[in-house]
Structure 1
Amino acid sequence: MTAWRDFAAAEPEFAGRVRALFDAHRHKTIATLRADGSPRISGIETTFADGELTFGSMPGARKGADLLRDPRFALHGATVDPVEGAEADWPGEAKIAGRAVPVDGESFRADITEVVHTHLNPAATLLVVEWWTPGAGLRRVERE
């Protein structure tokens, strides 16, 4: 079980960047799995509190039923476009994947399996993908 606090302790600077992207906007997107295995995308809000990443589902919502049946999820923070001429200032986008652990009613906490930050290098000439997993730690690739 990897809580947000565990990830943040392992990679505080990286966790800070990812959390800032998630905190920058209220609405995020979550992907869950339907009963037939096909993906479902839903809007969601998240909270970082007491070392946990938590989120909820309205009573009777399909995403909550999906998570209770199959806890795997992918969470995507809000995305903004780079400003033309100021691409190096683009903060990028953040994603978190894991398993939803029921807390009470329709609330869940995240058992984190992967955290990703995609952004541009300082010259805005390369796409930088940084990702962390509990088993392999932090990794980074740059792509043209």
Structure 2
Amino acid sequence: MATWQRFSEEAPVLAGKIKERFTAEKSHVLATVRRDGSPRVSGSEVDFREQDLLIGSMINAVKAEDLRRDGRFAIHAASAIDEGGADAKVAGKAVEITDPAEVARLQGDDEPAHVFRLDLTEVVLTWVEGNSLMVEVWKEGQGSKRLARPDNGPVVEVALD
């Protein structure tokens, strides 16, 4: 799994665009895995702190219990694609920070909470450019590639800027 810092070092331009989408709005959609294996979606906020991407949760919230049991997640930033912006998603494994002093330091108070570092396996940015749907994908261990789907036709790989 790649930390936000490692991903940012490997794909700095893409990381900047992803961070821009996640900081443009407060609430995003988090997908977790329920005990029975089915998906659950919940509203969630993200925080970029000290080179990490974090999410928090109230104590014993169902999304926190999902992540504690099975850390797999995907989070979709509030979309701006309809306004000429982009659509951003990240996926990977959430790792709970369990040291109470570290949790208090990261959240700025000592209220009980769950805090998770989001380690990444995949990052996707989607936007419209002219008559093409554009997708830039970063996968851990594979780097980045850019795809285009001109005129709603076949997908083609295009050069990164």
Question: Scaled by the length of structure 1, what TM-score is found?
Answer: 0.90
Question: C-alpha separation between the residues in 2 aligned to 1:81 and 1:74?
Answer: 19
Q: What number of residue pairs does the alignment pair up?
A: 136
1:69 Cα deviation (Å)?
0.5
1:81 Cα deviation (Å)?
5.1
RMSD: 1.1
* Match among 112, 126, 136 for residue 118 of structure 1: 126
Structure 1 segments of 4+ aligned residues over 3 angstroms from their partners? none
Matches within 5 A, 1:1-144: 1-80=1-80, 82-83=82-83, 90-104=84-98, 105-121=113-129, 123=130, 125-143=131-149, 144=152
The one-character-per-residue Cα deviations of 1:80-101 (angstroms, maximum 9, x if unpaired) are: 3524xxxxxx111100000000
| Amino acid across the alignment from 2:43 | G
SS at match of 2:82: coil
Change over 3 Å in CA distance of 1:81–1:142 after alignment to 2? closer
Question: C-alpha separation between the residues in 2 aligned to 1:140 and 1:79?
Answer: 19
Question: C-alpha separation between the residues in 2 aligned to 1:29 and 1:82?
Answer: 17
Question: C-alpha separation between the residues in 2 aligned to 1:23 and 1:100?
Answer: 19
| Amino acid across the alignment from 1:133 | K
| Amino acid across the alignment from 1:50 | E
SS at match of 1:132: strand
How much identity, in percent, do the aligned residues show? 42
Point out the more displaced range, 72-81 or 39-48. 72-81
1:140 Cα deviation (Å)?
1.4
Query: Contact 2:81–2:128 at 8 Å: present in 1 too?
Result: no
| Amino acid across the alignment from 2:96 | P
Higher radius of gyration, 1 or 2? 2
1:20 Cα deviation (Å)?
0.3
SS at match of 1:114: strand
Structure 1 stretches of 5 or more lacking a match? 84-89
